[in-house]
Amino acid sequence: MRDLAILFIHLLSTIARLMRPGGARAVVAESLLVKHQLVILNWGSERAPNLRPMDRVIAGLCTLFIRPYRLLRVAVVFRPSTLLAFHAALVRRKYRILDVTEVKTVPYLPISHPFVERLIGTIRREYLDLVPFRTARDIENKLLSFKVFYNDKRCHYALDGDTPSERTGMLRPKVANLDSYRWQSYCRGIYHLPVAT
């Protein structure tokens, strides 16, 4: 009877320690035999704030049915660092597939990458300063039309008067007849270029 009373008191003190924040860690450190059963109880309340103590006990009892060597395979832990590492790996793989080299830039420092700053400045000066826009969808549509104009129709001084599409071979210009031409408008009438008819 005395042993049963000591066991009951020990059980009550263990339950009392489990109910405290961080109490599960103390119990796990004390007894290696119940380590695998209390893995879920070992989580701090800051990691799983919606679990009540009874939910933790039930989840701990459910781990009794999992063999210890399979416990690590069954347990899936998602942390923000894990998700960010997974996302970074996906981004690197996508860049590698598209054969794109990632360029690191320093925020708020225009000289860190002059090509990007030059492109942003060109878009602002030549288009966004001239065109009012109302919503995000509106500016997306207007920027798409400017992209077509910028890559397919606008000649670039750095490319010896060619357009980027002509330089890559995607677009072949028609031979213009200077006797017969018309004016084609782009970007909602902001730019007008002669086109062979």
Taking CA atoms, 22 is separated from 6, 33, 69, 76, 157, in Å, by 24, 19, 25, 21, 68
Specify if 93 maps to a domain. no
pLDDT reported for residue 88? 81
Tens digits of residue pLDDT in 26-41: 555 555 334 443 444 4
* Residue 70 and residue 122 in one domain: no
66 in the same domain as 121:
no
- 150 lies in some domain: yes
| Per-residue pLDDT at 173 exceeds 60 | yes
Res 13: pLDDT: 75
Distance CA 43, CA 40 (A): 6
Q: Say how far apart CA 170 and CA 164 lie, in whole Å.
A: 9
Q: Which residues pair with 184 in a beta bridge?
A: 193
130, 61: one domain = no
Count of domains in the chain? 2
- Residue 101 falls within a domain, yes or no? no
Using CB atoms within 10 A of its CB, is residue 56 exposed (0-12), middle (13-18) or buried (19+)?
buried
- The whole-number pLDDT of residue 22 equals 65
Tell me whether residue 94 is in a domain: no
pLDDT of residue 40: 42
Are residues 114 and 54 located together in one domain of the fold? no
Q: Are residues 117 and 65 in the same domain?
A: no
* Residue 195, phi then psi, degrees to nearest 5: -130, 140
116 and 69 in a common domain: no
User: Does residue 49 lie within any of the structural domains?
Assistant: yes
pLDDT digits (tens, 9 = 90+) for 142-172: 888 888 888 877 777 667 777 777 777 776 6
Residue 91 lies in a domain: no
The residue among 25, 46, 74 that closes a domain is 74
Last residue of a domain, one of 74, 98, 122: 74
Q: Residue with structure tokens 């996508």?
A: 94
Place of tokens 């910028």: 150
Say how far apart CA 117 and CA 180 lie, in whole Å: 39
DSSP character at residue 172? P
Last residue of a domain, one of 29, 51, 74: 74
Q: Contact at 8 Å (CB) between 24 and 18?
A: yes
Question: What is the overall mean pLDDT for the chain?
Answer: 72
* pLDDT reported for residue 37: 39
In a domain, 125, yes or no: yes
Measured CA to CA, the distance from residue 33 to residue 29 in angstroms comes to 10
What is the extent of the structural domain holding 17? 2-74
Beta-carbon neighbour count of residue 75 at 10 Å? 11
Q: What is the pLDDT of residues 79-132, one digit of tens each?
A: 666 667 777 888 888 888 888 887 777 777 767 777 778 888 888 888 888 888
Coil vs helix vs strand at 161: coil
Residue 181 belongs to a domain: yes
